């Protein structure tokens, strides 16, 4: 885990990798709750041997990312973009998912005192095989922006 006081402190960690400190169990109730919200009710997403919808993995990314990269002091953040999404392996009911992240870039936005942080993300299974890969770009407001 990478833990910093402020978003600007992440610049010292460009190229560094971090892993989420816990895993999420992909359960049938979790998949069913996601299906209820998303409407992605394909038969392969139903039942005890279901395959998790790929968009569920994307939706779990912020939760896992907060457990891999901790920023203690900021006034707000938004996800500006998620891209380069690729689904590598199916995730089944009963699988445990964790996140491996690498900070790719930290840059100041010219129009205001905010930082853009780009992170390459692998959602990985217990076997260490990537189930999904993507890039997340978050924008953080510094503590002095309050």
In angstroms, the CA 8 to CA 71 distance is 10
| SS3 category, 112 | coil
Q: Each residue of 87-124: pLDDT tens digit?
A: 999 999 999 999 999 999 999 888 677 889 999 999 99
What is the rounded average pLDDT of the residues 59-67? 94
What is the rounded average pLDDT of the residues 58-70? 94
Question: What pLDDT score was predicted for residue 132?
Answer: 96
Domains of the chain: 2-145 (3.10.129.10)
| CB distance 17 to 104 below 8 Å | no
In angstroms, the CA 94 to CA 121 distance is 22
Instruction: Indicate whether 146 pLDDT > 60.
Output: no
Q: What is the largest CA-CA distance in the chain?
A: 50
């Amino acid at each position: 885990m990478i833990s910093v006081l402020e978003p600007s402190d992440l610049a010292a960690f460009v190229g560094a990798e971090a892993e989420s400190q816990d895993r999420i169990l992909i359960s049938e109730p979790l998949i069913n709750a996601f299906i209820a919200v998303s409407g992605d009710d394909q038969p392969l997403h139903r039942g005890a041997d279901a395959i998790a919808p790929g968009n569920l993995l994307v939706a779990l990314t912020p939760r896992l990312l907060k457990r891999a990269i901790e920023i203690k002091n900021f006034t707000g953040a938004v996800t500006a973009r998620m891209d380069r999404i690729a689904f590598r392996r199916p995730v089944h009911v009963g699988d445990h998912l964790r996140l491996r992240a690498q900070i790719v870039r930290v840059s100041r936005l010219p129009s205001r005192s905010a930082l853009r942080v780009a992170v390459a993300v692998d959602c990985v299974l217990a076997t260490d095989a990537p189930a999904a890969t993507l890039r997340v770009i978050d924008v953080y407001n510094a503590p002095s922006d309050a």
